């Protein structure tokens, strides 16, 4: 009887599969797993800037991973490196804050059950000993880590050169890996070159090194021989790789998203970006802003549902790469949000204590160079410009930090005081009196020489876009447009019409 069942069972399975229109080898053995990838975090716990509806937040990223894990326990989270710090060298005043931030990121990674992470150059800003003290599951370049995912061997191969990548991926295959995900510490362009090499045995590459700080402004997926992906930097997005397999020895192919889904996602992305831009338009009324925010939240929710939907049934072994923009309307993991709140509270006290104990005043300017003198030195000649300034957000820039308890945060204060880290400006967070807010010299430059000789062309009379984007950059003010914003700070006595100032003014 047992022998007969052994013969009949495969036939019954095949008959049922044929009747259902599904290949028999998928009926009982098709399985799925998910890999989340973060990269180029650059020490960002949360969005930084003054724009509305800013993307990012490690608390939102961890919640996305937790929700996926609740639906499918076969979830892996990996990081491509450059997560702990934003630059390779730190000034002494920056060390307390940056070390605390790195420790907070490490705690968040542990709550996300990080499986492995490659090491980038930025991770070593405080040296290897500090990095290792965080006790994260690190992976050196040139090494392989194998994971069992629902009966499949999945390898994470970390490498920093094409030769190293090829050798590492080959070693992963020899170890029995069916799916090889490469964390390649090179730019997107270099990763595409490596992906074209026929000797590369990887299934998917992530280009984890940015050419510069602004290189990772967008998510990218390039459908080359070996697909190459890059995740938006500074924690603004997360990549999700859905893997579906039924044939252990068969190769994996990148599954093409149905055209109608691609079109809908593209349309939603465009509408979301347009609404984000409209929300940041100067002078937008509260009621209109609330309506636009509600619509934005609705579109983000719709996009999230489409992007996280299960893969459509397909023959063979397939995978899909989808990006999750971490919009502010997405849910947050409470435990990680508590870590961020504790960091925001503690870092101010830490920086204030350091400044009082070790802080040094800004150096004097050279005898022939201008120095910062503060707004009051400008008032005598430009009294009529002050009402315009006092009615602007620039005048309240420092207070906006006070309102959220971040006036001692070194990541923020530089754009909220006059002459940060410059002769005559602010070099200590405990000594900002007379330099609070975005004042005259923030835009027009240091004014000591002009104050002594106001009739001379020794001041920047009309700042241009280049002067504004030092602070209104894509990171902090993502929808800044010079021509739109400039009229908001002009008015009688300040460029709006002929000034009544005693000497040449803007």
DSSP per-residue codes, 114-167: --EEE--GGGGTTHHHHHHHT---EE-TTEEEEEEETTEEEEEEEESSHHHHHH
pLDDT digits (tens, 9 = 90+) for 434-446: 999 999 999 999 9
- The pLDDT > 70 percentage for the chain reads 90
pLDDT digits (tens, 9 = 90+) for 304-339: 787 777 766 767 899 999 999 999 989 999 999 999
pLDDT digits (tens, 9 = 90+) for 374-403: 999 899 889 999 999 998 889 999 999 999
Angle, vertex CA 36, rays to CA 35 and CA 38, nearest 5: 140
Instruction: Report how far apart the first and last C-alpha atoms of the chain are (Å, whole number).
Output: 99
Residue 145 makes CB contacts below 8 A (sequence gap 6+) with 115, 116, 139, 155, 156
Quote the distance between the C-alpha of residue 325 and its chain's center: 10
Query: Per-residue confidence at 28, pLDDT binned at 50, 70, 90?
Result: very low
Query: Per-residue confidence at 3, pLDDT binned at 50, 70, 90?
Result: very low
Q: In this predicted structure, what is the pLDDT of residue 497?
A: 55
pLDDT digits (tens, 9 = 90+) for 447-480: 998 988 887 678 888 888 888 988 888 777 777 8
pLDDT digits (tens, 9 = 90+) for 258-284: 666 777 777 778 788 777 777 777 777
Q: In this predicted structure, what is the pLDDT of residue 259?
A: 66
Q: What is the pTM of this model?
A: 0.83
Quote the distance between the C-alpha of residue 52 and its chain's center: 16
Q: In this predicted structure, what is the pLDDT of residue 186?
A: 97
One-character DSSP codes across 245-276: ES-TTSPEEEPPPPHHHHHHHHHHHHHHHHHH
Question: What mean pLDDT is predicted for residues 83-87?
Answer: 96
Range with the poorest average pLDDT among 90-99, 170-179, 455-464:
455-464
CA distances from 491 to 391, 410, 469, 482, 495 (A): 10, 32, 21, 16, 6
Under a CB-based contact definition with an 8 Å cutoff, are residues 41 and 237 in contact? no
- Domains of the chain (ranges; CATH) run 23-255+311-336 (3.60.21.10), 361-497 (1.10.1130.10)
Q: In this predicted structure, what is the pLDDT of residue 17?
A: 41
Under a CB-based contact definition with an 8 Å cutoff, are residues 103 and 54 in contact? no
Angle, vertex CA 243, rays to CA 29 and CA 117, nearest 5: 130
Closest CA to 227 of 189, 262, 192, 197: 192
One-character DSSP codes across 315-351: SSEEEEEEEEE--TTS---HHHHHHHHHHHHHHHHHH
């Amino acid at each position: 009887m047992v022998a007969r069942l052994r013969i009949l069972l495969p036939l019954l399975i095949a008959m049922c599969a044929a009747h259902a229109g599904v290949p028999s080898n998928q009926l009982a053995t098709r399985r799925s797993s998910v890999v989340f990838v973060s990269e180029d975090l650059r020490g960002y716990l949360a969005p930084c800037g003054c724009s509305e509806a800013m993307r990012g937040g490690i608390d939102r990223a961890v919640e996305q991973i937790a929700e996926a894990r609740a639906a499918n326990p076969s979830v892996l989270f990996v990081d491509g490196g450059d997560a702990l710090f934003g630059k390779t060298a730190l000034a002494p005043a920056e060390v307390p804050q940056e070390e605390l931030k790195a420790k907070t990121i490490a705690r968040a990674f542990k709550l996300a059950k990080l499986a492995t992470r490659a090491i980038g150059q930025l991770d070593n800003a405080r040296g290897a000993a500090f990095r290792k003290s965080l006790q994260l599951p690190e992976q050196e370049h040139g090494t392989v880590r194998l994971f069992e995912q629902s009966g499949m061997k999945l390898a994470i191969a970390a490498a920093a050169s094409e030769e190293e990548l090829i050798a590492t991926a080959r070693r992963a295959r020899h170890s029995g890996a069916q799916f090889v995900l490469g964390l390649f510490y090179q730019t997107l362009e270099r990763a595409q070159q490596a992906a074209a090499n026929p000797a590369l045995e990887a299934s998917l590459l992530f280009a984890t090194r940015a050419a510069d700080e602004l290189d990772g402004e967008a998510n990218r997926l390039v459908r080359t021989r070996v697909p190459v992906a890059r995740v938006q930097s500074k924690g603004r997005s997360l990549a999700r790789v859905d893997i579906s397999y039924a044939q252990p020895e068969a190769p994996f192919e990148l599954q093409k998203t149905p055209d109608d889904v691609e079109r809908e996602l593209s349309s939603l992305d465009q509408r979301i970006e347009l609404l984000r831009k409209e929300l940041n338009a100067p002078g937008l009324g509260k009621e209109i802003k609330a309506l636009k925010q509600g619509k934005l939240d609705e579109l983000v929710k719709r996009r999230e549902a489409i992007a996280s939907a299960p893969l459509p049934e397909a023959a063979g072994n397939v995978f899909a790469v989808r990006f999750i923009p971490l919009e502010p309307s997405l849910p947050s993991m409470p435990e990680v949000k508590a870590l961020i709140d504790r960091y925001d509270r503690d870092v101010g006290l830490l920086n204030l204590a350091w400044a009082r104990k070790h802080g040094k005043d800004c150096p004097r300017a050279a005898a022939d160079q201008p120095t910062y003198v503060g707004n009051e030195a400008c008032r005598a000649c430009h009294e009529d410009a002050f009402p315009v300034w006092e009615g602007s957000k620039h005048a309240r820039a420092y207070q906006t930090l006070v309102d959220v308890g971040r006036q001692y945060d070194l990541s923020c204060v530089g754009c909220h005081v006059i002459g940060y880290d410059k002769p005559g400006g602010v070099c200590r967070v405990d000594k900002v009196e007379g330099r609070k807010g975005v004042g005259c010299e923030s835009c027009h430059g240091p004014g000591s020489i002009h104050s002594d000789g106001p009739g001379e062309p020794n001041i920047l009379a009309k700042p241009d876009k280049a002067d504004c984007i030092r602070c209104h950059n894509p990171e902090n003010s993502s929808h800044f447009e010079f021509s739109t914003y400039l009229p908001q700070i002009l008015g009688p006595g300040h460029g709006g019409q002929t000034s009544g100032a005693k000497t040449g003014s803007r």
